[in-house]
Structure 1
Amino acid sequence: MIAVLCRHFGLKHIEIAEDIIGDTFLKASEHWAANGVPENPAAWLYTVARNNAKDHLKRVTLFETKIAGNLKPDEAAPEPGFEFAGEHISDSQLAMIFAVCDPGNSTESQICLALQILCGFKVEEIANAFLTNIETIKKRLQRARTSLRNSHFQIKALSGPDISQRLDRVLKTLYLLFNEGYFSKTNDHLIRNELCAEAIRLTLVLTENPLTGTVQTKALLALMCYQSSRLDARTGNSGEIVLFDEQDPTLWDKDLIEKGNYYFVLACQGNQASKYHIEAGIAYWHTNPAAVNKWPHILQLYNQLILIEYSPVTALNRAFAISKVYGHEKAIMETAKLKLTGNDQYHKLLGFLYETTDPGEAIGHYRKAVQLTRAKAAKRVLEKKIEQLENKNGG
C-alpha cells in the first residue's frame, strides 16, 4: 500500500504515505472490533487508504507546505484518483524496491530500507537479518530516509543498466525476507509462512521479466521452492520445530519440489554460479532423503559457499555437515574453532553434538542457547531438550 501511494505521489512524501497507511490500519482496528471483520478485508483497507489519501490532498495546509512549493508554474496538482489493482500493486512494490536500492545509499542501507518499508520488518528483525545491533540499523535507516527526502527520487521505469546495477541488492532483500519467514528469530512463531509466500511471489515476478529473469534470480527462486516444500513438516502439533532428521517426508510438498527442480535447471544454463546456486544445490540434496552419499555433496557445497560469502550461519551449517560425514568428534573441534559464544545457534549445535558423548556438556550448551534465544517457541524446544537429557541421565 505504501508502494502504491509513493508511486503516485513520489518517494519524497514517503512519511506522508506511511502516516496514511498507519491511520488506515488504526481505523480498521476500531471499526472491525465494533462491526466485525468485513467479507473482503483487503478491499476495505484499500478503499479507506485511497480515501485517506484524497482527504490529505484536499487539505489546504498540506498542499501548500508539501506539494505546492515543489510544483513548477506550468504543473498542475496531481490527480488523486488511483486504484489498488493487483497488477498496480505488484508493479509498484517491485518498482519501489528498485528505487530504494539506489547506488546513492550504501548497500546495507538500501536493503534495510526496503525490508522496513516494503516488507514490514521491525528494526529488531532487520538487525537479526544482518546479524548486527539495533542502534546500527536505526542509524542506517535514518541516513537512507534523509537521502530519499533530499533527492528528487521518483518511482519510474528503470533502464536496463539501472536494473542490472541494482538487481543484486534486490535479490539480497528478497533473500533476507524469505529467511526471516523460514526461521524467525524475533517472532513467537518460528515459521512465518506469509513472509515466505511474499518473497516467492516477488521473486517469481522478477523471473518473468526479461531484464530481471537472470540465472541468479532463477536460482534464488529454486532455493525458495525447495525450502518452502518442507514448511508443513518443520512444525509439530504444538508449533514446535521438527528437526530435519525427524521430519515426515510424506508432508513435503512435491509440487514445490518439482517447481524447484524446474527453476534450478533453468538457473544452471550458462557458466555463472552465485551463492544462490550453491544454496539451491544444498536445498536440492535435502529434498532427496534417500540419495546415496548426499552429505559429502552437501559438505562440498558448504566448502564452496563459505569461500564465496562467509557468515556464522554458513560456518555452523558446514560444521553440522561435517558431523554427518566425519562424526561428532570432528564436528565439535570444527565448531569450537568458530568461537561464536554469543550466538544461540553455536550453543545449540554444540548441545546436539555432545548429546551422545557428554550429556552434561550438552545440557550446559543448551542452557546458554536458551539465554541467548529471543523467540519463545525456540526457547520451548531447547527447554524440552534439556528436560529430556536430565531425565535420561537421572537429573
Structure 2
Amino acid sequence: MTAVLCRHFGLKHIEIAEDIASDTFLKASEQWAIDGIPSNPVAWLYTVAKNKAKDYFKHESIFESKVKNGLTPGTYSYETGFEFNHQIIADSQLAMIFAVCNPANTPESQICLALQILCGFSVEEIANAFLSNNETIKKRLYRARANLRNNNFQIHNLGGADIEERLEVVLKTLYLLFNEGYYSKSGNQVIRGELCSEAIRLAVFLSGNPLTLNTKVQALIALMYYQSSRLSARTGEHGEVILFDNQDRRQWDSSLIAQGHYYLVNACTGEQISKYHLEAGIAYWHTTPADQNKWPHILQLYNQLILVEYSPITALNRLFAYAKVYGAARTIPEAEQLQLTDIHYYHELLGYLYTEIDTFKAIEHYENAIQLTKSPVEREMILKELGRLREEKI
C-alpha cells in the first residue's frame, strides 16, 4: 500500500504514505470488527487509502507549506482514476524497492530501509537479519531516511543503468525477506510462509522483465523454490521445529522442486557463479534422496560459497556439512577456532557435535544457546534436546 501510494501520488516524504497506510489498517480493524470483513478486503483497503490520501492533500497544511511547492508537474494527480490490481501492486512494490535502494545510502542502509518500508520488518527483525543490535539499526534507518529526503526522493522510471546498479541490493533484500519467512528469528512462529511467498512473487516478477532478467535472479528463484518445497515438513502439529534428518519427505512438494530445477537449469546457462547459484546448488542436493553421497557435494559448494561471501552463519553451516563428511571429532577443533561465542547457532552446532563425544560439554553448549536465542520456538527445540541428554545421564 505504501508503494502504491508513493507511486500514484508522487509523495515526497515516505512517512506520509506510511501514516496513511497505518491509518487505513487501523480503520479496518475498527470497522471490520463491527461490520465484518468485506467481500473484497483488498479493494476496501485501497479505496480507504485513496480517500485518506485525497483528504490529506486537500486539507492538511503540511501539503500547502512543505509538499506542494516541491512537486514537479505530473507528480500529483489524485483527481485521476485510482487503479489497482495484482499487477499494479507488484509493479509498484518493485518500483519502490528500486527507488529506496538509492546509492545515496550505503548498501546496508538501502537494504534496511527496503526491509522496513516495503517488507514490514521491525527493527528487531532487521537487526536479526544483519546479526546486529537494535540501536545500530535505528541509527542506520534514521540516517537513510534523512539522506533520501535530502536527495529529493521520488519514485520515477529508472533507466537500464540505474536498474543494473541497484539490482544487487534488490536481490539481497528479497533474499533476506525470504530468509525471515523460512526461519524467523523473532516472534512465536519459526516459519512465516507469507513472507516466503511474497519474496518468490517479487523475484519471479523480476524474471519477467528483460531489464532485470539474469542468471543471478533465476538462481535466487531456484533457491527459494527448493527451500519452499520443504516448508510443510519443517514443523509438527503443534508448531515444533522438525530438523532436516527427521522430516517426512513425503510432505516435500515435488512441484516446487520441479520449479527449482527449471530455474536452476536456466541460471546455469552463463559463466557467472554467484552466491545464489551456490546456495541453490546446496538446496538442490538437500532435495535429493537421503544418502551420504550428497554431503561431499554440499561441502564443496560451501567451500566455494565461503570464499564468495563469508558470513558466520555460512561458516557454521559449512562445518555441519564438514561433520557429515569427516565426523564430529574432526570437526570440533575447526568449530572452536571460530570463537563465535555470541551467536547461538555456534553453541547449537557444538552441542550437536559433542552429543556422542562428551555429553556434559554438549549440555553446556545447549544451555549457552538457550541464553542467546531470541526465538521462543527455537528455545523450545533446544530444551527438548537438553531434556533428552539429561535423561541419558541419569
Q: Which category of TM-score, normalised to the shorter sequence, fits these structures?
A: over 0.9
**Do the aligned partners of 1:11 and 1:149 also contact (CA within 8 Å) in 2?**
no
Alignment-derived partner of residue 354 in structure 1 = 354
**1:193–1:344 CA distance, 2 compared to 1 (3 A):** same
Identity of aligned residues (%): 62
**1:11–1:98 CA distance, 2 compared to 1 (3 A):** farther
CA distance in 2, matches of 1:39, 1:385: 47
TM-score (norm 2): 0.96
CA distance in 2, matches of 1:194, 1:75: 35
Alignment-derived partner of residue 263 in structure 2 = 263
1:278 aligns with 2:278: yes
Q: Which stretch of structure 1 is more off in the superposition, 195-204 or 100-109?
A: 100-109
Matched AA of 1:329:
A
Q: What do the CA deviations read for 1:69-105 (whole angstroms, capped 9, x no partner)?
A: 2256x77963344122221111110001111111111
State the Cα distance separating 1:46 from its structure 2 match: 1.5
Alignment-derived partner of residue 385 in structure 2 = 385
**1:392–1:208 CA distance, 2 compared to 1 (3 A):** same
Q: What do the CA deviations read for 1:152-179 (whole angstroms, capped 9, x no partner)?
A: 2321221111111111010000001001
**Do the aligned partners of 2:12 and 2:67 also contact (CA within 8 Å) in 1?**
no
1:78 aligns with 2:83: no
CA distance in 1, matches of 2:254, 2:156: 39
**1:326–1:71 CA distance, 2 compared to 1 (3 A):** closer
State the Cα distance separating 1:8 from its structure 2 match: 1.9
1:128 aligns with 2:131: no
CA distance in 2, matches of 1:188, 1:114: 24
**1:14–1:256 CA distance, 2 compared to 1 (3 A):** same
State the Cα distance separating 1:361 from its structure 2 match: 1.3
Matched AA of 2:77:
P
Matched AA of 2:101:
C
**Do the aligned partners of 2:10 and 2:75 also contact (CA within 8 Å) in 1?**
no
Alignment-derived partner of residue 138 in structure 1 = 138
**Do the aligned partners of 1:306 and 1:315 also contact (CA within 8 Å) in 2?**
yes
CA distance in 1, matches of 2:47, 2:74: 28
State the Cα distance separating 1:228 from its structure 2 match: 0.4
Q: Which stretch of structure 1 is more off in the superposition, 283-292 or 94-103?
A: 283-292
Q: Which stretch of structure 1 is more off in the superposition, 41-50 or 189-198?
A: 41-50
Alignment-derived partner of residue 39 in structure 1 = 39
State the Cα distance separating 1:254 from its structure 2 match: 0.2
SS of residue paired to 2:223: helix
CA distance in 2, matches of 1:199, 1:291: 31
**Do the aligned partners of 2:226 and 2:284 also contact (CA within 8 Å) in 1?**
yes
Alignment-derived partner of residue 226 in structure 2 = 226
**1:75–1:113 CA distance, 2 compared to 1 (3 A):** closer
State the Cα distance separating 1:40 from its structure 2 match: 2.8
SS of residue paired to 2:13: helix
Alignment-derived partner of residue 10 in structure 1 = 10
CA distance in 1, matches of 2:157, 2:171: 18
1:196 aligns with 2:179: no
TM-score (norm 1): 0.96
Q: Which stretch of structure 1 is more off in the superposition, 140-149 or 255-264?
A: 140-149
Q: How does 1:240-251 map to 2 (within 5 A)?
A: 240-251=240-251
SS of residue paired to 1:51: helix
Q: How does 1:316-335 map to 2 (within 5 A)?
A: 316-335=316-335
SS of residue paired to 1:67: helix
SS of residue paired to 2:89: helix
CA distance in 1, matches of 2:71, 2:306: 51
SS of residue paired to 2:142: helix
Q: Which stretch of structure 1 is more off in the superposition, 243-252 or 360-369?
A: 360-369
Matched AA of 1:116:
Q
State the Cα distance separating 1:211 from its structure 2 match: 1.0
SS of residue paired to 1:304: helix
Q: Which runs of 5+ in 2 are unaligned?
A: none
State the Cα distance separating 1:347 from its structure 2 match: 0.6
Matched AA of 2:362:
A
1:51 aligns with 2:51: yes
**Do the aligned partners of 1:174 and 1:199 also contact (CA within 8 Å) in 2?**
yes
**Do the aligned partners of 1:285 and 1:291 also contact (CA within 8 Å) in 2?**
no
State the Cα distance separating 1:116 from its structure 2 match: 0.3
CA distance in 1, matches of 2:253, 2:186: 26
CA distance in 2, matches of 1:368, 1:24: 43
CA distance in 2, matches of 1:279, 1:76: 41
Alignment-derived partner of residue 111 in structure 2 = 111
Alignment-derived partner of residue 337 in structure 1 = 337
Alignment-derived partner of residue 313 in structure 2 = 313
CA distance in 2, matches of 1:334, 1:289: 28
CA distance in 2, matches of 1:77, 1:159: 22
Q: How does 1:153-172 map to 2 (within 5 A)?
A: 153-172=153-172
State the Cα distance separating 1:266 from its structure 2 match: 0.2
Matched AA of 1:106:
T
Q: Which stretch of structure 1 is more off in the superposition, 231-240 or 142-151?
A: 142-151
**Do the aligned partners of 2:104 and 2:151 also contact (CA within 8 Å) in 1?**
no
**1:76–1:155 CA distance, 2 compared to 1 (3 A):** closer
Matched AA of 1:336:
E
State the Cα distance separating 1:136 from its structure 2 match: 1.2
Q: How does 1:204-219 map to 2 (within 5 A)?
A: 204-219=204-219
State the Cα distance separating 1:320 from its structure 2 match: 0.4
Matched AA of 1:273:
I
SS of residue paired to 1:289: coil
**Paired positions, count:** 393
CA distance in 2, matches of 1:47, 1:158: 28
CA distance in 1, matches of 2:102, 2:67: 24
Q: What do the CA deviations read for 1:43-77 (whole angstroms, capped 9, x no partner)?
A: 221121111111111205243123332256x7796
CA distance in 1, matches of 2:361, 2:70: 66
SS of residue paired to 1:92: helix
Q: Which stretch of structure 1 is more off in the superposition, 286-295 or 130-139?
A: 286-295
State the Cα distance separating 1:338 from its structure 2 match: 0.8
CA distance in 1, matches of 2:294, 2:77: 59
Matched AA of 1:318:
R
